[in-house]
């Protein structure tokens, strides 16, 4: 975690599993870890390019996901240009601190999941 003195609220204070549960509520929506992963690997990215890199997500869902990640303090939105209107999304310091978690998810997936074009036998 960063040296930021501001801590996020834990909604189940007092239980051993609270930090895991609270972290899961931040990143465990379907597209959230994918968006964070793409921003980690590609750096600040415009909406259209991010949509291209998050294959299968609709514009509405991407927009809603980015808004949720912004509200949670993981992503920031910067207006780059007014004419034509252009914005760029990037990870905040707190969002970038998720890198070890996202990398672990990626490595686990590479080691344990079949590629989509492989046999369906044994898939989750």
The continuous run of DSSP H or E covering 111 comes out as helix 99-112
Query: pLDDT of 82-108, one tens digit each?
Result: 888 899 999 999 999 999 999 999 998
Task: List the chain domain ranges.
Answer: 19-107
**Taking CA 115 as the corner, what is the angle to CA 109 and CA 118, rounded to the nearest 5 degrees?**
140
Q: What whole-number distance in Å separates Cα of residue 60 and Cα of residue 81?
A: 22
Query: pLDDT of 19-35, one tens digit each?
Result: 777 788 777 888 999 99
What are the structure tokens assigned to 42, written together? Answer: 């590609």
**pTM of the model as a whole:** 0.78
Confidence (pLDDT) at 12:
65
Alpha helices (runs of H) in 9-91, residue ranges in sequence order: 18-27, 32-42, 47-53, 59-71
CATH top class, domain 19-107? mainly alpha
Query: pLDDT of 34-58, one tens digit each?
Result: 999 999 999 999 999 999 999 899 9
């Amino acid at each position: 975690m960063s040296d930021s003195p501001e801590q996020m609220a834990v909604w189940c204070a007092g239980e051993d599993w609270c930090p895991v549960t609270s972290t899961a509520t931040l990143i465990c929506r379907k597209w959230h870890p994918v968006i964070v992963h793409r921003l980690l690997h590609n750096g600040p990215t415009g909406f259209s390019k991010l949509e291209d890199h998050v294959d299968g997500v609709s514009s509405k869902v991407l927009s809603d996901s980015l808004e949720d990640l912004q509200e949670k303090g993981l992503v920031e939105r910067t207006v780059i240009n007014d004419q034509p209107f252009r914005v760029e999304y990037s990870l905040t310091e707190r969002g970038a601190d998720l890198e070890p978690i996202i990398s672990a998810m990626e490595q686990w997936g590479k080691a344990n999941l079949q590629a989509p074009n492989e046999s369906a036998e044994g898939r989750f």
